Amino acid sequence: MKLLVVDVESEVRDQIQVGLEAFEGFSVECARGGAALDRVRRCNYDGIFLGVTAKGNDQLRRITEDQPDLPIVVLGDDAVLRRVKQENPSVLGLLAMPLDAMDFYRTVARLSHRLGATS
């Protein structure tokens, strides 16, 4: 399963990447900003972990418009996640920063189950 991790902070991207690669069957790539959106359009990803800041969720909106069935896990602070949940109820998961290991593993299990069910 091919996943893309997009976040403004490289430490967060690295943490997510290492966590995902601990699971068998995940291939993980990382990107930032506009390059990430371009990659989503060009490549066939099975899911995305997307960092969203208080400045807005323009990337999330664009991705969901382009590929409405693509599973997306959103990372952000509590206020951002509340806004995303209200505006985009179709996202697969919400992960608060700093990352809680149990929440991360539960979300990965849900993603894995969803991808296994659609394969």
Quick check: 119 pLDDT over 80? no
Predicted pLDDT of residue 118: 61
| Helix orientation angle between 101-118 and 10-21, rounded to the nearest 10 degrees | 60
What is the percent of the chain with per-residue pLDDT over 70, rounded to a whole number?
Answer: 97
| Domains of the chain and CATH, by start | 2-108 (3.40.50.2300)
pLDDT at residue 32, as a whole number: 86
| SS3 (DSSP) at 64 | helix
- Each residue's pLDDT tens digit, 55-108: 877 889 999 998 999 999 999 999 999 999 999 989 999 999 999 999 999 999
Q: Of 16, 25, 82, give the one whose Cα is nearest residue 49.
A: 16
